[in-house]
Structure 1
Amino acid sequence: MSEVMEYKCPYCGGAMEFDSKSQKMKCPYCDSEMTIEAFNNIQKEETQETEHPAVEASEDGQWREGETENMRIYACQSCGGEIVADVNTGATSCPFCGNPVVMKGQFAGDLRPDYIIPFKKDKKAAKAAYYEHLKGKAFLPGIFKKENHIDEIKGVYVPFWLFDADAQADIHYEAEKIRVWEKGDTEYTEHRYYDVHRAGSVSFQNIPEDGSTKMDDALMESIEPFNFDEAVPFETAYLAGYLADRYDVTKEDRLARAEERMTKSAEISMKQNVDGYDVVRTSSSHVNMRNTSHKYALYPVWILNTTWKGESYIFAMNGQTGKMVGNLPFDKNQFYKYIGTRSVIIGVILYALMWIITLL
């Protein structure tokens, strides 16, 4: 078995991390920086020196020999969530419920990701986006604006299944043209009905579906889109300094949801080509998927989990684009005060208007 590979700085021996700003490996102790390629080359040289030859990537999503030995599984005893972190990660907390997590054991058994989109936004950007998300929320509890909640933001690589397919659509519409005219004192309305047929194919690439039951599907769809053009072949070094969620939903389970999204998109695309009518209704729709394929990738997400009055609130920010989403609690006391104040103001205005009217 190969020795454990830690992300050690070759200059000072400190634990290196992937820096989202420079897109390089960076040592927080001596500020040394190097590209992922250079860092991997150093790791390979050290492996060869210890008589452990490097093993090239194998087929069908298999990990290279010894590649997962620098990863550990941490399990949350509260929500059951499992996250992946490198061996340098100390005590941490669950990004999904905020409770402490404990090391479970060695990483094994899962597929190796095909691609990864490295973090482009750092924790500072996530904090700024969070504050921006709070702006203009009149009935937000004041506790949500405190700094201690911001410090709970964690960078997590979320597993995604990416689907490609060609959608073959065959759709019939009931269309209607309406003409209205007047003659003398009479208004006439003419309705003309048409059977409109549209058929064609629409190609889809990299339709994402998250592979984690712990991540709310609507939340993950809300922070889309991710730009797959910035995805790179997966390397474990990108995980340094971040957490990674383990997938617990298979590609087969996510395929149906992806096909549903592609079907709706194909139907919308076809309907946009039906113009020149006043009313268009779909009478029949048949969409078949062909040439379906998939990829497995890790996408960057900043997650904030906090609790207020016994309820958990999760906020998520796209670690590539900076888009922040999340539900906010509603402070009823502030709402009632607002309504009361508005009622008094409206009452005064109405009284003043009535008094002015009596003088006229």
Structure 2
Amino acid sequence: MPHEDSIRCPACSGKAVFDMKACSLVCSVCAKVLDAGIRPEAHDAGTGNGDKALPKPEAGFYECPSCHIMMSPGVLRTSEACPCCGEPLSPETLKAPNLAADAGVPAPDIILPFARDSACFAADLRSKVRKRFFVPDKIIKGIAPENIQVLYLPYWLFDIGISGDGDFLQEDVEIIDSGRNRVYVHHVYKGRAGGAQFYSGAPVSRATAVDNRICEAIEPFDLAQGRSFKSSWLPGLAAMVPAPNAQERYARALKRVSGAFDSYLSAADDFNYVRFSKRNYEIKPRLVRSGLFPVMYASVRWGGRTWRFAMNGETGTSYEEFPLSNWKLWLSQICPWFLSLGVTLWLLRDYITKLEDVILWAVVPFILAIVFARFVACKYLFPTNLLTALCGGSMLLAGSWLIYDFFAARPPIGEGFATILIFTVIGFLITLGWVYQMTRKDSNSKDAKYYSDCSYCAVVSENRADFRECVPDYDDSTLDPDSVILHR
């Protein structure tokens, strides 16, 4: 459950809150800056990766007699069993109080302070909404600053060593232009590699308030900015109490580390797709710590499902799910082409019996309508419900008047009219399919962007590549751009 701590101002007894921009406590009544022992330059709990020195266990750490993993004091405060093997901890081990006396929540080992606030998150989402197409109004209103939750989520940080070898297939796609067709040549290789890596601070969220995949999508967190925990970081913010499913979180950490080791052994960044057929890995957990990480989260219910938005409160990395308003999409194409039909009929009413002139002169409004429906209408005229109603209604009224004026002149209806109508239908289908594919691709581009592994946690100086073998297996060609032989 969430907890929100409070500190009173000594001058006016007003409630003090943590100001993210000032990185200090500020009274909400008299705006007095309070000295609460927070020093922005005091990175005394940093645990950065790369080639930095690995963290060493300090006093208060406990070694599990079963799996020999070291547990920090913060872990001992929040768990009665080893998070790796489930071995119950002895009462003598659990000497640290379960709740920190001055915090009200299980005190973690480190805390990453907020560097961004909800206004920054809302501004980032608004800028992305302007680049999207046909976002529902309810979504736009739901991402206002007052609807954004500012949370400290509990994490466990695992230090894990992994070594071994594996067999895999790699696929590289080569694109060759052959006349009118584009040929996709799939080169498949057989690979085998072995080595070792060490991952420091692989994070796994322990909160149930935010989906674990979303927490991974806004990584990485910069652990080098970690500070020693003080209750002064919490006033005005919510801190979530960890969920008790410890071993499930450790299993998630193992999955992420294994995925990262897969990428390292197979050099996955150099190929389009990789698929493992055999793994012989030995995983040795070394240390587990606890932390509170800054996350901003918002959710909006629309269309029978919940659409979620999140931002890393430290680095600003964001995750968003923007739905597509289908009625705006359809109106953005129906209305311009209905207007185009009216304009074309009205302009060519004196030439409607001359099929050659109709075909010649109808090309110009046809091309202009395609450009207007694809590049102007969908981007600028149908972003909100109000503009959709005004612009769509105006186009339908104008098109109706022009069509009425055309028929009022009693022109002969024949091949010329049918040609203009066919041009309109074809253009409508072209731009509708074009815009639909564009918006669908834009809406789904973020859905699969999860950090399924944690490669950024690898300590570079600990990498070891014992051997790597890669030999060609077979080639295959296709005209389908979406064809894939392997799937990572």
TM bracket, shorter-chain basis: 0.5 to 0.7
Matches of 2:147 and 2:168, distance apart in 1: 52
8 Å CA contact 1:155–1:302 kept in 2: the answer is yes
Q: Which residue of 2 aligns with 1:168?
A: 163
8 Å CA contact 1:219–1:326 kept in 2: the answer is no
Give the CA deviation at 1:12. 2.5
Secondary structure, counterpart of 2:331 in structure 1: helix
Matches of 1:343 and 1:232, distance apart in 2: 60
Q: Which residue of 2 aligns with 1:198?
A: 193
Q: Which residue of 2 aligns with 1:298?
A: 292
Q: Structure 1 residues 352, 284: CA separation in 2 closer, same or farther (over 3 Å shift)?
A: farther
**Higher mean C-alpha deviation, range 293-302 or range 193-202:** 193-202
Give the CA deviation at 1:194. 8.7
**Higher mean C-alpha deviation, range 151-160 or range 11-20:** 11-20
Matches of 1:331 and 1:176, distance apart in 2: 37
The one-letter code sitting in structure 2 at the alignment partner of 1:21 is K
Q: Which residue of 2 aligns with 1:223?
A: 218
1:103-140 deviations in whole A, cap 9, x for unaligned?
Answer: xxxx6xxx431111111102221221221231222211
1:304-350 deviations in whole A, cap 9, x for unaligned?
Answer: 2333356433321111122222222321210111242576699899x
Q: 136, 152, 164: which is aligned to 1:157?
A: 152
Matches of 1:300 and 1:293, distance apart in 2: 22
8 Å CA contact 2:152–2:293 kept in 1: the answer is yes
8 Å CA contact 2:6–2:236 kept in 1: the answer is no
8 Å CA contact 1:6–1:70 kept in 2: the answer is no
Q: Which residue of 1 aligns with 2:280?
A: 286
Q: Which residue of 2 aligns with 1:254?
A: 249
TM-score when scaled to structure 1? 0.66
Q: Structure 1 residues 66, 249: CA separation in 2 closer, same or farther (over 3 Å shift)?
A: closer
Q: Which residue of 2 aligns with 1:232?
A: 227
Matches of 2:325 and 2:241, distance apart in 1: 35
8 Å CA contact 2:108–2:229 kept in 1: the answer is yes
Q: Which residue of 2 aligns with 1:53?
A: none
Q: How does 1:87-98 map to 2 (within 5 A)?
A: none
Secondary structure, counterpart of 2:158 in structure 1: strand
8 Å CA contact 2:153–2:239 kept in 1: the answer is yes
Q: Structure 1 residues 346, 147: CA separation in 2 closer, same or farther (over 3 Å shift)?
A: same
**Higher mean C-alpha deviation, range 14-23 or range 287-296:** 287-296
Matches of 1:336 and 1:352, distance apart in 2: 32
Aligned sequence identity (%): 24
Secondary structure, counterpart of 1:146 in structure 2: helix
Unaligned runs of 5+ in 1: 40-56, 72-106, 178-192
Could you say which structure has the larger radius of gyration?
A: 2
Matches of 1:257 and 1:353, distance apart in 2: 69
Matches of 1:352 and 1:166, distance apart in 2: 77
8 Å CA contact 1:129–1:322 kept in 2: the answer is no
TM-score when scaled to structure 2? 0.50
Q: Which residue of 2 aligns with 1:122?
A: 117
Secondary structure, counterpart of 1:301 in structure 2: strand
Give the CA deviation at 1:200. 1.0
What value does the CA root-mean-square deviation take over the aligned residues? 3.9
Q: Going by fraction, where is strand more abundant, 1 or 2?
A: 1
8 Å CA contact 1:149–1:306 kept in 2: the answer is no
Matches of 1:312 and 1:231, distance apart in 2: 32
Give the CA deviation at 1:243. 0.6
Structure 1 runs (4+) deviating above 6 angstroms are 174-177, 277-281, 345-349, 351-354
8 Å CA contact 1:212–1:249 kept in 2: the answer is no
Q: How many residues align?
A: 284
Matches of 2:37 and 2:103, distance apart in 1: 18
Q: Structure 1 residues 38, 152: CA separation in 2 closer, same or farther (over 3 Å shift)?
A: closer
Q: Going by fraction, where is helix more abundant, 1 or 2?
A: 2
Report whether the alignment pairs 1:141 with 2:136.
yes
Matches of 2:280 and 2:320, distance apart in 1: 36
Give the CA deviation at 1:204. 0.7
Q: Which residue of 2 aligns with 1:340?
A: 334
1:161-187 deviations in whole A, cap 9, x for unaligned?
Answer: 11111110312356899xxxxxxxxxx
Q: 258, 266, 271: which is aligned to 1:263?
A: 258
8 Å CA contact 1:117–1:230 kept in 2: the answer is yes
Q: Which residue of 2 aligns with 1:356?
A: 360
Secondary structure, counterpart of 2:37 in structure 1: helix
Q: Which residue of 2 aligns with 1:328?
A: 322
Secondary structure, counterpart of 2:147 in structure 1: coil
Secondary structure, counterpart of 1:322 in structure 2: coil
Give the CA deviation at 1:241. 0.7
Matches of 2:217 and 2:31, distance apart in 1: 36
Matches of 1:356 and 1:324, distance apart in 2: 51
Q: Which residue of 2 aligns with 1:182?
A: none
Unaligned runs of 5+ in 2: 40-58, 62-72, 78-95, 173-187, 345-354, 364-488
Matches of 2:146 and 2:269, distance apart in 1: 51
Matches of 2:251 and 2:357, distance apart in 1: 61
Matches of 1:216 and 1:264, distance apart in 2: 19
